[in-house]
Amino acid sequence: MISTLLKPMKKLFGLLKIIDNNLIKSLLIGFIFFVPLWPKLPLKMINYTYISIRLDDIYLGVMTFAFFIQLLRKKVKLNKKFFILFLLFWLAVFLSSFWGILISKTITFWHLGILHSLRRVEYMIVFFIALSVIKNKKDFFKLINIYLLSVFLVILYGFGQKFLNFPAVQTMNPEYAKGYLLYLTPEARISSTFAGHYDLASYLVFAIPITLGFYFFTKNKNYLALFILSLIILIYTSSRISFGAYVISTIGFLIFIRKYWFTIFVIFLTATLMFATGELTKRFLKTFQVRRILIDEKTGAVYIGQKITTKELPAGSFYIKLKDQKTGAEENLEEFKKQVINEKLKEATLSGQITKKEENIYLSTLSANLKPVNTVVSDISFATRLQIEWPRAINAFKRNFLLGTGPSSITEATDNDYLRWLGEIGIIGTFLFSLIIYYLLKTVWTTNLINLGFIFSIGALLINATYIDVFEASKVAYTFWTIAGLFIGYTTLKKQKFN
């Protein structure tokens, strides 16, 4: 009788023990799928910003709490060497934040300074969670294959978005960030389940060298197929910086491991896909354009004759002056000049800047000041960075070399992670973050094909960081620190066995 009652109890305790032993690993598997696949739907918007609290924040909070409890129970371990580095970086971030809030007053809304500081902790804490679950070689390969499966699912949704009108949820501007379902036009750049095409492209260029590393290590053609599909979707994003990062990191990886024939195949495949789709080629050609523009010699205002459409990448106001000669890009400037003059006259009249009697004088003065100039103009994307975002970060760095002006002080985006680090957290924070990346690379450095793939994946993100705040993009940052934790756990395990 007693033995009959004890059997179900033993089974229950056995089940609870299995759950207890695998709790963090199970939560991490869910997180690996959840982060890239769940769209960025807001739960609660934060005042004075279009950043919001989302479901992934709640999930990570639960997983972190479970990790902390298991840490206290000594069911998981903390890598102390990395934790000290991470802790120093987090302290530097919060020091910059408190300095900006309390001393320099460069952070207008204190809650945003704290929020941006906490986000850096939030993105990076998953590194220790991922690292702790690697108990053997089987754990590593299982979790990495789950990650690559999630990459495949992201790609499938990307194809659905391109060809089957699957919706997108983007945060490219404050209105989109409210969580609207968007249906992309045929010429729009796809974003799959990500907040924008740049984020998706960054996610893919990080995954590609890892995928190839596993292909050469296992000779499994499923990894080769995943690489080809990733490349197609990458090209559909039309992200020029990510494409450049892909070319440098992937070709560099293949040459480094001496896969010369495969390198030729990849170059041919990339060129074929690039010219077959056409959009990425057009964007590269629009990066710098030779144009004859109008410049107001008195005010320095720039006027560029162009049609703004969804298919065209408009030129920005940044230009390099050429010699005064035929450029091969002559435009009907007289008609455009009349259009500019009429628009300026209308503005001046409506604002009360001039009266009816002064119209003729205003017209003749404006006409005399507008001079045609042969130039090379950049697209609006590069011009915005060069004229607004990057100088803003540099000026913030100049105000406080050591600590910067604090997280959130230079708005949500700088579109260059290196300048953003310098502007927001100064030399101290930037040095400590760079030290973490260096120590990561040093720890995983081996001639193992899998590790080399990961090393070149980090290189791809570092290239991307010159044009995008890639380490602050939540889906990319979560993924990077998760995979970094898995690789450090695997490499540490191998080194311990070798010793």
- Write the pLDDT tens digit of every residue in 123-132: 999 999 999 9
Which pLDDT score, from 0 to 100, does residue 338 have? 67
Count Cα neighbours of 73 within 13 Å in the Cβ-side half-sphere. Answer: 11
Q: Which two tokens stand for residue 62?
A: 């639960």
339-397 pLDDT, tens digit each: 666 666 676 666 666 666 666 666 666 666 677 776 666 777 777 888 888 999 999 99
Tell me the pLDDT of the chain averaged across its residues.
85
Sign of CA dihedral 273, 275, 279, 285: positive
Q: How far apart (Å, rounded) are the C-alpha atoms in residues 118 and 94?
A: 8
Q: pTM for the full model?
A: 0.88
CB under 8 A, 24+ apart: contacts of 196-200: 196/170, 196/171, 196/172, 197/237, 197/238, 197/239, 198/237, 198/239, 198/241, 198/242, 198/468, 198/473, 199/473, 199/475, 199/476, 200/154, 200/158, 200/233, 200/237, 200/239
pLDDT bin (cut points 50, 70, 90) of residue 328 is very low
Which pLDDT score, from 0 to 100, does residue 385 have? 85
| CB-CB neighbours of 96 under 10 Å | 29
170-228 pLDDT, tens digit each: 877 777 777 788 888 877 889 999 988 899 999 999 999 999 999 999 999 999 999 99
Q: How far apart (Å, rounded) are the C-alpha atoms in residues 116 and 127?
A: 18
Beta strand pairing call for 370-379 and 288-296? antiparallel
Which pLDDT score, from 0 to 100, does residue 45 have? 78
List of residues 6+ apart from 381 with CB closer than 8 A: 313, 316
